């Protein structure tokens, strides 16, 4: 029996030790699911504060309760470390590190390459490496296989490599981690088989595909689909504003059709770690093949201009009452990229605040999940959403529709409101003050 066959037996018996590199929104929930399936898990992170927190049984992620972490640690199923030397004891290694864009909007796979380099230094026969970080098609095969094979070990013979994209949706209470099917593509059929076997004990459904390139493309298609359809919804919002129509009413009525329509909603722009980034990865790859990704480019342009549209609408609302933006007291409700989270990555609120501040507005914000932010060297702290704060503001703009905000009270106390999320759709009193995207 060769080493990969031995690994298969260890996975089946739940004796395989699992490593997870990157203990953020993706890696920590995945690691906990492995502990629930009976595996021992070692988490790796470069942030010592994260490691210390987990070893003390405390979670730093809103979707992950501390009780779950404490239980896994107490049971001896979960440990965390900054010592990458311990990768050598892991049978399966999941890479869950960020893959952002550079300032020039090119893919930045440096975090993933650094993780793979740490693995390369300790790679041994009988290990399975699974990449979960979003990247462009061909990254696993063209970049990481040669890196790992530089050790003299052969992919698919001595070690296995697969790509299994993350599908984490922070704050989603409807679909838990294990309920979202797991796509898996390996460098060889055996690599796919081993990775699928690992995840079958964790996810309700595993979807094997023919290659790492296919799995990489699946992830990009999912979020490109969303970005393009959000771009359409945003353009419809611009059209409805020009036509004097309520875009929210239009979309809700269209969504009553039981087939052929999927509801996407407009907003102040795109945010988060996936939707604003993933389509750009695909467009970058296609540009290298002299293939223009026209839908992606158009949607990116429309979505990217939404913060400017929000500021233009705010300017118009203040002008109606002969108030200039310069010196206006503007309160932003919600700065996280989506409701129910504290994640600020790519949040459109940052652009809106930056644009308003450039026009001389006195901007403050309230967000129950984000205590402090910094924009262009200026620090802002979340203010208390008291009656005085609301009544002193010339305009309140809803950027992120957190559920733990009393929108009825906001409508009652604020002078003017611009709602970019339709958060106040059920408000009965004070509705005459509210303007929608």
Q: Which entry of 155, 191, 240, 274 is annotated as an active-site residue? A: 274
Percent of the chain, pLDDT > 90? 92
- Cα separations in angstroms, 420 against 4, 62, 288, 372, 425: 53, 25, 37, 22, 11
Q: Which residues contact 27 (CB under 8 A, 6 or more apart)?
A: 20, 21, 43, 45, 94, 96, 97
pLDDT(231) > 80: yes
The confidence score (pLDDT) of residue 301 equals: 96
- What's the mean pLDDT in 217-223? 96
Alpha helices of 244-277 — where are they, by DSSP H?
247-254
Tell me if residue 90 is catalytic.
no
The confidence score (pLDDT) of residue 89 equals: 95
Architecture of domain 234-436: 3-Layer(aba) Sandwich (3.40)
Other C-beta atoms closer than 10 Å to the C-beta of 378 total: 11
243-274 b/e (C-beta count within 10 Å ≥ 16 → b): eeeebbeebeeeeeeeeeeeebbbbbbbbbbb
- Confidence class for position 173, pLDDT limits 50, 70, 90: confident
- H or E element in which residue 129 lies: strand 128-131
Residue found under tokens 């018996």? 13
Question: Which segments of the chain belong to CATH 3.40.50.720?
Answer: 3-210, 234-436
Mean residue pLDDT of the chain comes to 95
137-153 b/e (C-beta count within 10 Å ≥ 16 → b): bebbbeebbeebbebeb
Superfamily grouping for domain 3-210? NAD(P)-binding Rossmann-like Domain (3.40.50.720)
The confidence score (pLDDT) of residue 1 equals: 59
329-359 b/e (C-beta count within 10 Å ≥ 16 → b): bbbbbbbbbbbbbbbbbbbbbbbbbebbbeb
pLDDT(431) > 80: no
**Separation CA 249–CA 343 (nearest Å):** 29
pLDDT in tens, 296-326: 999 999 999 999 999 999 999 999 999 999 9
In this prediction the pTM is 0.93
Q: Give the tokens for residue 308.
A: 């400017």
Burial environment of residue 389 by CB neighbours within 10 A (0 to 12, 13 to 18, 19 or more): middle
pLDDT in tens, 326-370: 999 999 999 999 999 999 999 999 999 999 999 999 999 999 999
């Amino acid at each position: 029996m060769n080493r990969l066959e031995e690994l298969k037996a260890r996975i089946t018996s739940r004796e395989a030790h699992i490593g997870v590199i990157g203990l953020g929104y993706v890696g920590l929930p995945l690691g906990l699911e492995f502990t629930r399936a009976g595996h021992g898990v070692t988490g790796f992170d470069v942030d010592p504060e994260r490691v210390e927190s987990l070893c003390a049984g405390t979670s730093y992620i809103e979707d992950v309760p501390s009780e779950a972490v404490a239980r896994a640690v107490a049971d001896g199923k979960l440990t965390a470390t900054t010592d990458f030397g311990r990768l050598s004891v892991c049978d399966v290694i999941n890479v869950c590190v960020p893959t952002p864009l550079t300032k020039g909007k090119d893919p930045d796979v440096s975090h993933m390459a650094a993780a793979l380099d740490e693995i390369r230094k300790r790679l041994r026969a009988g290990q399975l490496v699974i990449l979960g970080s979003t990247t462009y098609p061909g990254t696993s095969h063209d970049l990481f296989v040669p890196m790992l094979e530089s050790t003299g070990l052969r992919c698919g013979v001595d070690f296995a490599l697969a790509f299994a994209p993350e599908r984490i949706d922070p704050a989603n209470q409807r679909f838990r981690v294990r309920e979202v099917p797991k796509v898996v593509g390996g460098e060889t059929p055996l690599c796919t088989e081993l990775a699928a076997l690992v995840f079958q004990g964790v996810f309700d459904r595993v979807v094997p595909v023919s290659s790492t390139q296919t799995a990489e493309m699946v992830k990009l298609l999912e979020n490109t689909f969303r970005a393009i359809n959000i771009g359409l919804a945003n353009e419809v919002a611009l059209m409805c504003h020009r036509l004097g129509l309520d875009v929210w009413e239009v979309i809700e009525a269209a969504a009553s059709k039981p087939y052929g329509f999927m509801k996407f909603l407009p907003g102040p722009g795109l945010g988060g770690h996936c939707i604003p980034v993933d389509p750009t990865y695909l467009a970058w790859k296609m540009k290298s093949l002299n293939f223009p990704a026209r839908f992606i480019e158009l949607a990116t342009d429309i979505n990217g201009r939404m913060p400017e549209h929000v500021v233009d609408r705010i300017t118009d609302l203040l002008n109606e009452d002969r108030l200039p933006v310069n010196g206006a007291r503007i309160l932003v409700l919600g700065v996280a990229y989506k409701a129910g989270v504290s994640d600020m990555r790519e949040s459109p609120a940052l652009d809106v605040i930056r644009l308003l501040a450039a026009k001389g507005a006195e901007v403050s914000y309230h967000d129950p999940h984000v205590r402090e932010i910094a924009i262009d060297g200026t620090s802002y702290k979340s203010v208390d959403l008291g009656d005085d704060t609301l009544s002193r503001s010339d305009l309140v703009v809803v950027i992120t529709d957190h559920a733990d905000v009393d929108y009825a009270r906001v409508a009652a106390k604020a002078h003017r409101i611009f709602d970019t999320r339709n958060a106040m759709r059920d408000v009965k009193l004070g509705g005459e003050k509210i303007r929608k995207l």
